[in-house]
Amino acid sequence: MLSEKTILTIKSTVPVLEVHGMAITKKFYERLFTHHPELLNIFNHANQKQGKQQAALANAVYAAALHIDKLEAILPVVKQIAHKHRSLGVRAEHYPIVGEHLLAAIQEVLGDAATDEILRAWSEAYAVIADAFISVEADMYKQSQEQNGGWAEFRSFRVARKVKESDVITSFYLVPQDGGAIAAFEPGQYISVKIQIPGDSHTHIRQYSLSDASGKSYYRISVKREDALQGRPAGKVSVFLHEQIKEGDVLAISAPAGDFTLELQDSKPIVLISGGVGLTPMISMLNTWAATDPSRPLTFIHAAQHGDMHAMREHVEELALQHPQLSVHWCYARPTERDREANAFHKEGLIDFPWLTSVVGNKESSFYFCGPTPFMKAVNEILIEWGVTKTNIHYEFFGPASNL
């Protein structure tokens, strides 16, 4: 446990972290990769370049300082990050390295303001927080390895099928190369895919939601091809998967992870809201619902640019014909003439308060949503304005956590 003096010292740094947090985390990653370039095999290079990882770490450090006297308040965040760490292969021996360079970055950015007392306090605090992560992650590795069909880090899977779902999304059906069993997973969880791209000196790891229910002989991921757009570079891994990976190829896969999962024991109506490739965990939730609890009312809402970018529409509509408790609604921002002629959508434009509340009807439902960050912010604001309780709002970011 931390002493009262250490807690007060850490809390005194909260205003400084609010101002200089990003500068500290940028300096931290510069130092980390300079001294330990092998860690570039774990981190997402694109998130580094875009500043997303630095922002996520700055938020985490700030939250730790703010709640240092009641660390149990950040335990859900610890577990969320620990899921990602386990799926990436982060190990206990990485934490002293991180601590060394984080403290050095604080000292370098703050200069004389980083007194010996402050650095000692942060060293103590980091040790406590790191121990929490190490303990949680050790349990996750053990559980992952010991479950039926499980494994600890990465395992070879063969691409059994590759299916184009829309103009931008392709599904990959993955079966274990060793022919053994595969671990069960909760609807909404993801796996990590480790790729070695020819010509690149480091491996790339990306996390993709599982897009089908558990209990099958395969895992399915449905990947959006991220082409270059308005100054944003193309997604190296997604383009490589779309263009280079063929049926029969072998990929290194982590066991399923993640805490954005459908609460199967809940009795409230379910509302699944997705934008773009945020559809993928929702399809897993939907398919699980159809197989286990189709008497529970479920509203499925998906927003896409237009019909050509709308994946798995036929599958969802077929389920709606089979299950009277399933209501489906499509929202197209820029419908094509073909969409209009076929009456292929229910709303043109963006999801807004009047439309969403009229479609759902019952604000005492359990809401799950996923998609681009601006989309999630808009949905979150609608739900808050409607008066949906916080405990009924569930969402996940693709990539480092941000703020809605």
Give the residue numbers marked as catalytic.
95, 137
Do the annotations mark residue 99 as ligand-binding? no
Q: Is 278 annotated as a binding residue?
A: yes
* 280 annotated ligand-binding residue: yes
Residues with Cβ within 8 Å of residue 345, at least 6 apart in sequence? 307, 330, 331, 332, 335, 339
User: H or E stretch including 369?
Assistant: strand 366-370
Question: 400 among the known binding-site residues?
Answer: yes
Residue the block writes with tokens 């007194």: 115
202 is in an annotated binding site: no
Cβ atoms of 306 and 334 within 8 Å: the answer is: yes
Q: Are 70 and 1 in contact (CB under 8 A)?
A: no
Residues in the chain: 404
User: Is 198 annotated for ligand binding?
Assistant: no
Q: Is 62 assigned a ligand-binding role in the annotation?
A: no
Q: How far apart are CA 84 and CA 80, in angstroms?
A: 7
Strand pairing class (219-224; 204-209): unpaired
Does 209 show up as a binding residue in the annotation?
yes
Residue 281 marked as a ligand binder: yes
Burial label for 332, CB within 10 Å (0-12, 13-18, 19+), is: buried
Please tell me whether 371 is known to bind a ligand.
no
Q: Is 279 annotated as ligand-binding?
A: yes
Check whether 85 is labelled as a binding-site residue.
yes
Residue 403 main-chain phi, psi, to 5 deg: -120, 140
- Whether 269 has a binding-site annotation, put simply, is no
- For residue 296, give Cα distances in angstroms to 3, 215, 293, 361, 366: 50, 21, 6, 15, 11
- Please write down the HEC assignment for all residues of 187-247: CCCEEEEEECCCCCCCCEEEEEEECCCCCCCCEEEEEECCCCECCECCCHHHHHHHHCCCC
Dist. CA 102–CA 106, nearest whole Å? 6
276 among annotated binding-site residues? yes
Say whether 208 counts as a known binding-site residue: yes
Binding residues for NADP(+): 276-281
Binding residues for FAD: 190, 206-209, 397-400
Binding residues: 85, 190, 206-209, 276-281, 397-400
Binding residues for heme b: 85
